[in-house]
Amino acid sequence: MHLGDLARIALTDEEITRLQGELNVIADAINKVQEVAGDDVPPTANPVPLETYMRPDVAETPLTQAEAISGAPVSESGMFVAPRILGEE
């Protein structure tokens, strides 16, 4: 299933079948929103209208290297280890 690739999840065949069924049911339920979403209605991304607070460009103490890599499943010389990377993007 293409969505599994986009979401980077190695779904099993059984999961794909089940999810397809479930998604159809949910999709029917949520399709309803289109009934009232007219062109004249502006979208809301954030429920409380705020404008951005801009932070002064002043440095604060960073994590130490040890703290940064403390959770790494695999690390080497202070760096995170990735298995073989294919392609450039």
Partner 1 sequence: MTEELVKLSAAEMAAKIKSGEVSSRELVEAHLKVIEAAEPSIKAFLQVSADEALAQADAFDEKTAKGQTEGLPELAGVPIAIKDMIVTKGIVTTAASKILEGWVPPYDATVIEKLKAAGMPLLGKTNLDEFAQGSSTEHSAYGPTRNPWDTDRVPGGSGGGSASAVAAFEAPLALGTDTGGSIRQPGALTGTVGVKPTYGGVSRFGAIAMASSLDQIGPVSRTVLDSALLQEVIGGHDRRDSTSIPAPVRPMAAAAREGMKRDLKGMRIGLVKELSGEGFQPGVQARFEESVKKLEQMGAEVVEVSCPHFPYSLGAYYIIMPSEVSSNLARYDGMRYGLRVMPPADVPQTAANMMAYTREAGFGDEVKRRIILGTYALSAGYYDAWYGSAQKVRTLIIQDFNKAFEQADVLVSPTSPSTAFKFGEKMDDPLAMYMNDIATIPANLAGTPAMSIPSGLSDDGLPAGIQFIAPQQRDEVMYKPAAALEAALNEEWGGPIWQSLKTPWLEGLGE
Partner 2 sequence: MAEKLMKYADAVKQFDPVIGLETHVELSTNTKLFCPAHVEFGGEPNSQLTPVSLGLPGSLPVINEAAVDYAIKLGLALHCEIAEWSQFSRKNYFYPDMPRNYQISQYDKPTNGNGYLDVELEDGTIFRVPIERAHIEDDAGKNTHVGGADGRIEGADHSLVDYNRAGVPLIEIVTKPIEGVGDRGPEIAGAYMRTLRDIVRALNISHARMEQGNMRADVNVSLRRNPTDPFGTRSETKNVNSFRGIEKTIQYEIRRQAAILNDGGEILQETRHWDEASQTTAGGRVKSDADDYRYFPDPDLVMLHITKEHIERLAAQMPEMPRERRNRLQGEWGFSDLEMRDVVNADALDLIEATVAAGATAAGAKKWWLGELSREANAKGVSLEELPVTPADVAEVEKLIADGKLNDKLAKQTVSGVLAGEGTPAEVVAKHGYQVVSDDGALVAAVEDAMAANPDVVEKLKAGNMKPMGAIIGAVMRATKGQADAKAVNKIVMEKLHA
Binding residues for partner 2 (CB under 8 A): 2, 5-6, 8, 45-46, 49-60, 62-65, 68-69, 76-85, 87-89
Q: Measure Cα distances from 25 to 14, 15, 33, 47, 68 in Å.
A: 17, 15, 15, 28, 43
Considering only residues 1 to 60 of the shown chain, the ones binding partner 1 according to CB under 8 A are 1, 3-12, 15, 19, 22-23, 25-27, 29-38, 41-48, 50, 52-53, 55
As a whole number of angstroms, the distance between CA 75 and CA 66 comes to 11
Residue number, 14 or 42, with CB nearest to partner 2:
42
Kindly state the smallest distance separating residue 49's Cβ from partner 1, in Å. Answer: 9
> Cα-atom radius of gyration of the chain, to the nearest Å?
22
Nearest Cα to Cα of residue 72 among 64, 80, 63: 80
- Smallest gap from residue 13 Cβ to partner 2 (A): 20
